[in-house]
């Protein structure tokens, strides 16, 4: 059996009864109350298929990459520089994948 990825576009039309001081307030309240749940007879649903793509057989692949990453950090001490790196908010000035290896590969059955 094959697996498929199916993309569906749906349109939900509802009529809501809203009490409000003006039309802008009524529209805002209606948007806040709106949900896609089937809640009553005053609803219309329409859907169409946008795309069907066969994705099977599918594979699980685990890869290990060895990176070389270079940072330029301005700090007043080595400890402060290490703290800045550990925060993870530094932007690398150079990044290179040195090597990669597939460590696991298996077909996923449907």
Whole-number pLDDT of residue 19? 92
pLDDT in tens, 14-67: 888 899 999 999 998 888 888 877 776 677 778 899 889 887 677 778 888 887
What distance in Å separates the CA atoms of residue 66 and residue 86, rounded to the nearest whole number?
18
Q: How far apart are CA 110 and CA 91, in angstroms?
A: 41
Separation CA 55–CA 5 (nearest Å): 7
Q: CA 91, CA 71: separation in Å to the nearest integer?
A: 7
The domain limits of the chain are 4-54, 59-108
C-alpha span between 69 and 67 (Å, rounded): 6
């Amino acid at each position: 059996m094959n697996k498929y990825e199916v993309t569906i576009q749906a349109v939900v039309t509802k009529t809501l009864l809203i009490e409000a001081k003006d039309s802008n307030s009524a529209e805002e309240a209606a948007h806040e109350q709106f949900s896609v749940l089937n809640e009553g007879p005053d609803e219309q649903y329409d859907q169409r298929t946008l795309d069907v793509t066969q994705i099977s057989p599918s594979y699980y692949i685990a890869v290990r990459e060895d990176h070389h990453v270079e940072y330029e950090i301005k700090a007043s001490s080595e400890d402060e520089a290490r703290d800045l790196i550990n925060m993870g908010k530094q932007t690398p000035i150079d990044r290179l994948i040195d090597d990669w290896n597939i460590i696991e590969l298996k077909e996923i059955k449907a």
